[in-house]
Structure 1
Amino acid sequence: MSKWFPRLYDTMMEPLEKRGFREIRKKLVHNLPGNVLEIGSGTGLNFPYYKEAQKVIAIEPEPIMIERSLTRAKNAHVPIEVISAKSEQLPFPDNSFDAVVNTLVLCTIPDPVKALAEINRVCKSDGKVLFFEHVRLDDPILGRLQDWLTPVWKRLCDGCHLNRNTLELIKQAGFKVTRIQRYYKDIFLVIETLNQK
């Protein structure tokens, strides 16, 4: 990762957070019970909204983002432990978590198929696996524009793929989709699933 991106992440996200992302995050995580794994927790923007979890373990590979998340973890309503790890190689036993949360992260993971397989492994059967992600649009013009912009966008935003078909990847990984909520003209999706073993 470049050094500027994690340092400016909160500043860049603030307009989106004010225009609805905070409410989306809150609805996504506030009532998750038990042991929760958060994938790619970044600067901890979800941390204030966990209310019911017994414990949250948050993984993040970027040291600057981990450092910036620690205050939010300390001030959270539930115990949150932030560790350095990559989603393609989760350092947890099988069936360790009651739920897994992914917010705006699958776009940057180098091998999302492997990451989803790891999520399946560490989440209990029928555990909730929740996603808030941006996706490639079906629109022929806008979808092609995302394809065209992605190589430059990846360099600027530390590997973010504007054109990743995240919903299809989730379905192919075997998660049972129970609900999809679309935002901002279908660019962003909340995808609620159950883990299928």
Structure 2
Amino acid sequence: MGKWFPRLYDVAMKPLEKTRFNKIRTELVGEAKGRVLEIGSGTGVNFPYYKNAIRVDAIEPNPLMSKQALKRIQESHVPIELYSASAEELPFADSTFDTVVSTLVFCTIPDPVKALKEIRRVSKTDAEIVFFEHVRMDQQVLGKAQDLLTPLWKKGFDGCHLNRNTLEVIKESGLEIEGVDSNYGGLFLTIKCLN
């Protein structure tokens, strides 16, 4: 993990956050209720959006990202506990969470299949599991460009796979998909599921 990526992440994402991402986060994160697990909380960009959660347990394996997230915990409307953990080995008991939130993180998880198994394990039956992720585009030329850029991109951007087909991985996980919305021509998807 490079030191520059966490420092520049918020600055690089600011134009997207001010446009469509703000609306998406308001809807997805704002609706999270009960005890919430956030996967890969990064710099804590979601923290101010939580309105209906009783509490949020947020995991983030990158200590530099977590350090930046600490100031956003102050802006939150709900209690947030930050853990240094990976999605593949969640430090929580079975059937703990009412809602799981994952935004722009599944591209970086080394083993997304294992992570989804863990998410299902720690989620209650019928828990809501929501994703906002970038994916490999269906458009042939753009998808191929993502494939070609991914090896270099992973090295520079904290392990991000530009071409990960996260929707397909979720479909194969056993989660019940309730809805999928496409944003930016299919580059970003919001996916709402039930455990």
TM exceeds 0.5?
yes
Query: After TM superposition, what 4+ stretches of structure 1 lie above 4 angstroms from structure 2?
Result: none
2:179 matched to 1:194?
Answer: no
In structure 2, distance between residues paired with 1:31 and 1:114: 26
Q: TM-score scaled to structure 1, two decimals?
A: 0.97
The size of the alignment, in residue pairs, is: 195
SS of 2:129's partner is strand
Trace 1:39-188 onto structure 2 (pairs within 5 A): 39-188=39-188
Gaps of 5+ in 2: none
Q: Deviations over 1:127-161 (max 9, x none)?
A: 00000000001112111111001011111101100
Moved more, 37-46 or 12-21: 12-21
In structure 1, distance between residues paired with 2:32 and 2:17: 21
Aligned amino acid, residue 49 of structure 1: Y
SS of 1:88's partner is coil
In structure 1, distance between residues paired with 2:31 and 2:106: 22
Shift of 1:75: 2.1
> Would you say the 8 A contact 1:35–1:99 is kept in 2?
yes
Shift of 1:74: 2.1
2:42 matched to 1:36?
Answer: no
> Would you say the 8 A contact 1:74–1:80 is kept in 2?
no
> Would you say the 8 A contact 2:138–2:186 is kept in 1?
no
SS of 1:76's partner is coil
Aligned amino acid, residue 127 of structure 1: A
> Would you say the 8 A contact 1:60–1:84 is kept in 2?
yes
RMSD: 0.7
Gaps of 5+ in 1: none
In structure 1, distance between residues paired with 2:116 and 2:95: 14
Moved more, 97-106 or 29-38: 29-38
Q: TM-score scaled to structure 2, two decimals?
A: 0.98
Aligned amino acid, residue 101 of structure 1: V
* Match in the other structure for 1:23: 23
Aligned amino acid, residue 111 of structure 2: D
In structure 2, distance between residues paired with 1:90 and 1:189: 24
Shift of 1:31: 2.3
SS of 1:190's partner is strand
